[in-house]
Amino acid sequence: MSAQYEAGICAGTFVDITKLGDELYWGGQESCSSAPADAIYPHSLRMVLRSTCNGFPCGIMTEQREFTSTDSPYNAVQTVNGFEGCVTGTTYDYDQIAYPTVRGTHYGPFVDGPVAAVDCNINPD
């Protein structure tokens, strides 16, 4: 896992964006603690994958994919796993944004940090 964030009683981490075979892997996970231990608080995790071409004059990120965790809102852990097929091996820069919601409060956006240059274009050129 790479970058981390805090969202109320929850904490999240991003996976490192990487190419696995012919697919781009991205996503993250958020876990919540509660006090008292038997308290249950609904939460959700929505994540967005962004990209731009690699090098100059690139740099403006555009949203490519969006996923919301399909876990029960009452699970202590919310997970998003994104797999996108690589259309070409062209190098693109990617980052991801987390939008957690905890106990009805929206947190973020949290960006995972420096872009990841990956030899994978998920959209046709």
Confidence of residue 38 (pLDDT cuts 50, 70, 90): low
Query: In the chain, what is the greatest distance between 2 CA atoms, to the nearest angstrom?
Result: 53
Domains of the chain and any CATH numbers: 4-121 (2.60.40)
CA distance 121 to 124: 7
Residues 6+ apart with CB under 8 A from 107: 5, 7, 8, 99, 100, 101
Chain segment 65-90, per-residue pLDDT in tens: 999 999 998 888 999 999 999 999 99
pTM for the model: 0.89
